[in-house]
Amino acid sequence: MAPRRPAPAPSPRPAARQTGRGGRPVRRRPRRRAVLGWLLGLFLAGVALAVGGFAAAYELVKIPDPNKLADAQTSTVYFADGTTQLGTFAARNRENVTLDQVPDHVQKAVLAAEDRTFYENRGVSPTGIARAVWTNLSDGTTQGGSTLTQQYVKNYYLTDKQSYTRKFEEFFISLKIDQQESKDETLQNYLNTVYFGRGAWGIQAASQAYFGVDSSQLDVSQGALLASLLKGPSNYDPRKGPEQAAAAKARVDYVLDGMVSEGWLSPADRAKAGLPQTIEPKPNTQWQGPNGYLLKTVQDELTGKVGLSEEDIERGGLKIVTTFDPKAQAAAVQAVQDQLPSKLPEGFHVGLSAIDPKTGGVTAMYGGANWVDNQFNDVTQARAQPGSTFKPFALVAGLEDGISLKTTFNGSSPQTIDGWPARNYGNEQFGRIDLVTATENSVNTVYGQLNEQVTPAKTRDVAVAAGYPADTPGLTGPQYISNVLGTAAPHPIDVTQAYATFAAQGKRTAWHTIATIDDSTGARTYTASPTTTQAFPSDVAADATYALQQVVKSGTGSYAGSRLGRPAAGKTGTTNDNLAAWFAGFTPDMAASVALFQTSPDGTKNVSLDLGGGEVTGGSYPVRIWTAFMRAALQGTPKSTFPDRADVGTARGSSSGSTSTSTQRPTPSGTPSDTATQTPTDTPSDSPSGSPTSSGGATDGATATPTSGATGRPTGPGRPTATATGDGGPGQGPGPGQGQGPGPARGDAGPGAGAAPNPAAAAADSTAAGATATG
């Protein structure tokens, strides 16, 4: 029997496979250690790259020369030629001091306001920058996040232009500054270079500008206010208004409370501190004389229309070219000085302005004799009723309605027009005359009838379209027939704007004083692009201009026609009680107006113009000043001509329902009524002395007086009572020329109405109610 083979050794049994739910095999995860090693390597590589990039950036970014950039920040203002300097904004009013000349509590106030970790940080705030970048990316707004060192770098080494490149440079320069300077050095440099407003650079200049003391004498409250101004001088100067004062108080409280929380101020000292008193801003000497009004107007336009901040203007290194023509501006100053008596009464005001009708640029402005003595601009801030310079708006309204210049009206005096008694100047009789003759002689009774036909509201609308602001006192409420005699109260620049619209054949271009803005880098530029609208058709403007030319050729403004030596048109205006006198006129190339008015010595009210030679009418000193100015300003320029008369509309024989009568409507019982007497004044001759002399020339004196004690509501049957006297024609002799008529008893401007920086300004703005318009 064969032996049996041994059985083979059993094979090892395979390990049981791990199964999951349902018996499915479970896959093994990658080894965690290998993964972590890979991630760590990637991280270290990233760190190495970041460190290398950081080191490279740190090495590449250099600290620029601070002196060159700091010296390039003054903004310069030029006349229209771009080379004649008018002035500068913030010529770096700065006096450096050492840190030991700044009290410790002032230093701590600045740190409490701007950087409470200044002495602990490395010159930058990564979290603050990240927050600012996130805000910029998420909603497009710009936000800070800067340390005090970064602010110092931005202000002294870089620019205000918001960009990521600038933030990049700011970050690395700040790191280097923190390495190269001690914290005390950085704080000292910051305090000497930062801008505090009022043209003050550095803590010493700011101490003088706001408190009239050296920086070493600042107390805790004063230091807290100066620290508060660093957030925005325009918003936290208490002298700028109630809103800024309230903001300053809240910011000062924030700074003082921060000093307490940091242990830099005791609660007891905090309780004694608060918003301090500041001194009035002191104007720079470059603002002396009439040019100060030009600079202030430019500054207001920069912050208003252009939208720059005070900091942009005063540290921006801007080149600002204005529309002011140096020859025209010199002519304006010379004309006022030459044509008025050498000694003027206290409270006497002159406003002269000129506009290029093609561009809307203001070429000349006489807002006062010296801006340093009186910051109230008699061209852009004063208000005076325009008298008969308002009549051309009714003429335009009539032409637009198809009433031709050939249309005739009854020019007798007195008349009652729709219940309104009206009288011509000196009660002069004209019979039936057309609108050209009525304009030439400023015939009140004719213009009253015309205004009744077109409606006073339409006349108002034409004035607004031509250039009067819609909110002008006297134009906002109900309108009456007497508004044609000039019962509104515009700024003188508004009248010039309206007459520039006539000169531009009905096109209105918004007035402005800035032509271009540029800086040394070309990063910030601006070119004026004023709004232009067709206020009324060109053919209507041509006919109105034709009628106004007759005023200059042989009417109440004939002084200009005989001396200017080029085509011109215009209108005189005088207010009741001789409270204001005007001449507004134009050539095809320039429009200008001259307004005279006078306030009492204490500046509380308007008084009759008194130049020592009787009544001051629009046909006397105003037309003399206007003629002298235009003759010099336009000397050497081509003599342009006006468009031909268009003869729009159809001739009509007017039957307005007016009646010739001397009967005056009685004033309702209990309603006070103004009456006024105008004595005509002869137009002064071209005598060297400049004093009025009898020459038999045209005079000016139409009146429309609001009811005394105006309440804004009509009195009597539908309208208030008022007085109307008219313009005298050429050779008109003296006479009382009295008459009564209803005018608007408005309550929209009483004494002191409007934003007036001083009593004289308040009196000037009160003319809308206190003064009354004459022709």
Instruction: Cite the active site residues.
Output: 114, 388
Dihedral angle sign, alpha carbons of residues 655, 661, 667, 669: negative
Residue written as token pair 């002064």:
684
Q: Using H for helix, E for strand and C for coil, what is the string for 387-442?
A: HHHHHHHHHHHHHHCCECCCCEEECCCCEEECCEEECCHHHCCCCEEEHHHHHHCC
Residue 720's nearest CA partner among 753, 756, 671 is: 671
| DSSP per residue, 263-329 | TSS-HHHHHH--PPP-PPPPPPGGG-STHHHHHHHHHHHIIIII---HHHHHHS-EEEEES--HHHH
Which tokens belong to 362?
């203001």
Specify whether the CB–CB gap between 735 and 719 falls below 8 A: no
Which tokens belong to 538?
């060109």
Angle between helices 326-339 and 621-633 (to 10 degrees): 150
| DSSP per residue, 31-49 | PHHHHHHHHHHHHHHHHHH
| DSSP per residue, 737-759 | ---EE------S--TT-S--SSH
d(CA 276, CA 212): 13
What spatial distance separates the first Cα and last Cα of the chain, rounded to whole Å? 159
What is the H or E stretch that residue 198 is in?
A: none
176-183 contact pairs (CB < 8 A, 24+):
176/58, 176/61, 176/63, 177/63, 177/123, 177/149, 177/152, 177/153, 178/122, 178/123, 178/124, 178/149, 179/123, 180/63, 183/118, 183/119
Residue written as token pair 């004035």:
463
What is the H or E stretch that residue 573 is in?
A: strand 569-574
Residue 527: beta bridge partners? 516
Specify whether the CB–CB gap between 631 and 588 falls below 8 A: no
Q: Is the peptide bond before 414 cis (omega within 30 degrees of 0)?
A: yes
Specify whether the CB–CB gap between 162 and 168 falls below 8 A: no
Specify whether the CB–CB gap between 741 and 421 falls below 8 A: yes
